Structure 1
Amino acid sequence: MKTQVDSDGIVTLTKEGENLIKDSPLFNDGLRPTTMAEHNWTSYNFASLWIGMSICLPAYSLAAGLIALGMNWWQAIITIILGNCIVLIPILLNSHAGTKFGIPYPVYARLWFGSKGAHIPAVARGLVGAGWFGINCWFGGTAIDTLLMSMSSWGNVPGHTWIAFFGFWALNVWIAYRGPEAIKKMEFWAAPTLIIMSLALLIWALTKAGGWGPMLSAPSKFTTAGEFFKVFFPSLTGAIAFWATMALNIPDFCRYAKSQRAQIVGQSVALPTTMGGFSFIGVAVASATVVIFGEAIWDPAAVLAKFSPLAIFFGTIGIILATLTTNVAANVVAPARAIENLSPRKMSFGAGAIITGVVALVMQPWYILDNFGNYIFLWLGTYAALLGPIDGIAIADYWLVRKQRIHLTELYRTNGIYSYRGGYNWNAIWAMLLGIAVPFVSRLIPGLGFIWDNAWTIGLFVSLIFYTWFMKRSSSLISQADYEKITAKAEAHAS
């Protein structure tokens, strides 16, 4: 029986396939495969998604952290662009599966970890997403607090910083509660607005300073290559880790792609250029503030606070918009889907969004951002070591083990081929543990610190290799002939 149909590389369920899974305890409307009509995201939608997510206060501050660690401006920007080009590879590899089969990340994870084991990578990604959600709320809330103080006597209000933070946190949760379609619409209009506001800030800085300022001509603090690389590799891991989360749950968005070309072009053009360009704006503006104000100001809110009340008002709107577009897209969808997947018949995406907001508070983002060491080495470095192996397993499973052949209805069966033993694929669990263990153990052994400095990359390849080896004879694999028995061919649709 044909349970799925392939139309120009997009696989959707047939009516027979839909009827087979609609009553499954692993099925609900948010976790089902998308229909052909829902595959409507164009290259612009994906470009605007990444522009909206990349123009954010953490990205502005990332270059600042690298310069504070001793890099000059171009070393910091190149590190960021290189990190984003590297992480773009797993993003595109995992995007292919989401686009072709229209499944969200928690369902995709059932392939590798099993119907129950999928909660391991889904919750791991969700916790990191919740952490980032809190970080962005803290960035945005404190920026709003700074701007309000510059316009009024807001600073005299007891607990004003916490009021601004919790108010902004509530706004984020409310918008996230409305769901992915609302996110798509917001990103569509926000992307060009954020680009214009960022360029306006850069033009103001250059005009006022009469040039690029002294910071762009300041030399690196490193006197030898060894000193540089000691900071470069963990910083590169931090730059990769910035979007390593999205490398996992990008199927949550690419399941709506109109075609493979649409998601590849949109993402490849927007991600490295926006991250590199916005980081450069951060460096250039901070450089100009040395000339204009006599000190380097890395906080964009602190820069805006020196403007006129009207400019501060528009700047505040820009900061709110920049933080919202990043937070609700990059940091809520994954944890909300993970929570939804814990009990598909009882949990909704909206409930998951609310729970994500609460977990973000418990993770205390104000501590993570206490200093750049915590931010780049503790936060970015540690979760990179945890998520790299999961990225490796996802890539190995789809491209090397299954060769892009998935039986969609089996993903929603509690006793299907993707349930493995009791709902857990121990091949994936062991491969993940090995990928995590190698960098963490190396951190403790003198002379092997290089492995920890590249934890995401090393962990990815360790888990990829072991998972591919472990899965050689798995009964969950389907042959090309079996795939053709369940998959009908349809006429090509317009791309």
Structure 2
Amino acid sequence: MTATVPPAPSENPIPDPAGRVELPPGVVLTDARFVNDDLLPVPLARRRWTTYNFTALWVGMAHNIPSWLLASGLVALGMDWKQAVFTIALANVIVLAPMLLTGHAGPKYGIPFPVLARASFGLRGANLPAMIRAGVACAWFGIQTWIGGQGIFVLLGKLFGGWAEASEVGGQPWTLWVCFVLFWALELAIIHRGMEALRRFENWAAPFVIVGALVLLVWVANKAGGFGPLLDQPSQLGWGADFWPVFFPSLMGMIAFWSTLSLNIPDFTRFGAGQRAQVWGQTLGLPTTMTLFALLSVFVTSGSQAVYGAAIWDPVQLAARTDNVFGLLFALVTVLVATISVNIAANVVSPAYDLANLAPRFITFRTGALITGVVGVVIMPWKLTETPELYIFTWLGLVGGLLGTVAGILIADYWIVRRTRLDLTDLYTPGGRYWYTSGWNVHAVVAFAVGGVLAVGGSHSAPGKGPFPQDGLIPFLKPLADYGWAVGLAASLVVYVAPTAGRRRV
């Protein structure tokens, strides 16, 4: 028996004034194949994240080294700083839409992403999108941890002479390994304390990192006597025919930067005090922060060009130029806080829940987080970053393209087919309405396959730069490859909705 119900329970409980729903009183879910404490709906009393909490979450996640470098990549493609910032701003406004749509189920039902996916994919089928998301997150956790460890290594090298010249172990200075391991352990120690600890960490990390970025801006502007020549650098593309072929693929790339979170944002919004908190918190936190951070990176880099004669986009390398001990220590702490803030929230929370969904009887949220940490080391991120064109820009790009397909199915099922109505008990009950065929919704799998083929079937590589044929895996789909996320989302949504048009389900 998977659900024990007392006499005459309310099968469809009345939502509270904020529209939130919890399990009917007295319902006890006991099937350990699909239930553990971390996957159960968050009780209403514990859904207390406010607008500030969600804003702080995004500020903390957006302020990181890869985000800082986004504008530099676009400038390198020939854009001027205004075009680069515009592209980043527009991309984050676009990705905010699926973020809010999938995030709606969090505060309403208190469920994480893999449980929400059960409604569309089935109780067992939900492991398909969950494991794809977990795989991407585990890989990025390892890469971000290695990058964070390198940042600490560089700054400590300035503080302690000879630090960078230490003897090598496994092809790297042993001091770099120490930085990596300590950084890794610190991240896992924080998340091991649970989501409430993460909320408190993000609350103070967000303003701290903002202050750190502003201090860097003031320091560079003071040394440069202004903001430098980069602001006057003209676009190599203009706004005509040369611009748009670069703009649209770049826009998709900027969207893909946070598209992973558009799937598992319910992992956070499930703790929300209501829809208003998650909608306003994310709206204030994501597009505004990413845009302002891009502006900061442009101004700081332009100032560095005036001071040092070359544009230094990497904030760690720029901070290392100072000989002020206090400044170096402040930069060190800022890098620590910024990288931990994004890596835990973006790359540990999701796989922790996803792995728990795979085997709830054996894997809790904390166990899933530990597995994520171990996988992040096993994949040897120090090797992966040596060949980014084969891994970061190929494998992760390929799998990342599939995530838009999953988002399309989730949005179609929750908003169009079910009109946001779910049966909480059946999300954990074999044989219920979300059991489909032995726990799999074949229709969702078909929609995923169609959207996935259209999204990534045209994947191609430049000669000698990757594993794909120059003309694409499926040549006639090559024109779609640069728009993979949008193509996958739209195609899977249409395929999923078409057979159910006019029918409403719970």
TM-score (norm 2): 0.89
Contact 2:136 2:396 in 1 (8 A): no
Contact 1:55 1:322 in 2 (8 A): yes
Match of 1:419 in 2: 435
Contact 1:427 1:470 in 2 (8 A): no
Pairs within 5 Å for 1:188-267 = 188-222=203-237, 225-267=240-282
Q: 1:371 to 1:234 in 2, by over 3 A?
A: farther
Match of 1:76 in 2: 84
| CA shift for structure 1 position 224 | 7.5
Structure 1 unaligned blocks of 5 or more: 479-495
Structure 1, residues 370-426: CA drift from partner, whole Å, max 9, x if none? 478668843664233110000000000001011111110001112211111011111
| CA shift for structure 1 position 469 | 1.7
Q: 1:375 to 1:223 in 2, by over 3 A?
A: farther
Q: Given the alignment of the two structures, is residue 49 of structure 1 paired with residue 57 of structure 2, yes or no?
A: yes
| CA shift for structure 1 position 69 | 2.3
Greater per-residue helix proportion: 1
The residue type equivalent to 1:459 in the other structure is G
Contact 2:155 2:332 in 1 (8 A): yes
Structure 1, residues 45-103: CA drift from partner, whole Å, max 9, x if none? 00000001100111011112222222221111111111111100000001111111111
Q: Given the alignment of the two structures, is residue 154 of structure 1 paired with residue 163 of structure 2, yes or no?
A: yes
The more displaced of 258-267 and 209-218 is: 209-218
The residue type equivalent to 2:484 in the other structure is A
2:361 to 312, 332, 345: 345
**Distance between the aligned counterparts of 2:430 and 2:361, measured in 1?**
14
| CA shift for structure 1 position 293 | 1.4
**Distance between the aligned counterparts of 1:448 and 1:220, measured in 2?**
31
| CA shift for structure 1 position 279 | 1.8
**Distance between the aligned counterparts of 2:239 and 2:479, measured in 1?**
17
| CA shift for structure 1 position 447 | 7.2
- Higher relative contact order, structure no. (Cα contacts within 8 Å, ≥ 6 residues apart): 1
| CA shift for structure 1 position 119 | 0.4
The more displaced of 442-451 and 161-170 is: 442-451
Match of 2:331 in 1: 315
Q: Given the alignment of the two structures, is residue 305 of structure 1 paired with residue 320 of structure 2, yes or no?
A: yes
**Distance between the aligned counterparts of 2:386 and 2:116, measured in 1?**
36
Match of 2:307 in 1: 292
Structure 2 unaligned blocks of 5 or more: 1-8, 168-172, 460-471
1:14 to 16, 24, 32: 24
Q: 1:471 to 1:357 in 2, by over 3 A?
A: farther
The residue type equivalent to 1:269 in the other structure is L
Pairs within 5 Å for 1:80-119 = 80-119=88-127
| CA shift for structure 1 position 237 | 1.3
The residue type equivalent to 1:248 in the other structure is L
The residue type equivalent to 1:75 in the other structure is Q
Q: 1:412 to 1:446 in 2, by over 3 A?
A: closer
**Distance between the aligned counterparts of 1:275 and 1:342, measured in 2?**
33
Q: 1:365 to 1:225 in 2, by over 3 A?
A: farther
Determine helix, strand or coil for the equivalent of 2:434: coil
| CA shift for structure 1 position 440 | 2.5
Q: 1:369 to 1:80 in 2, by over 3 A?
A: farther
Q: 1:225 to 1:371 in 2, by over 3 A?
A: farther
Q: Once the two structures are aligned, what percentage of the paired residues are identical?
A: 44
| CA shift for structure 1 position 363 | 3.6
TM-score (norm 1): 0.91
The residue type equivalent to 2:21 in the other structure is V
Q: 1:211 to 1:376 in 2, by over 3 A?
A: farther
**Distance between the aligned counterparts of 1:70 and 1:95, measured in 2?**
36
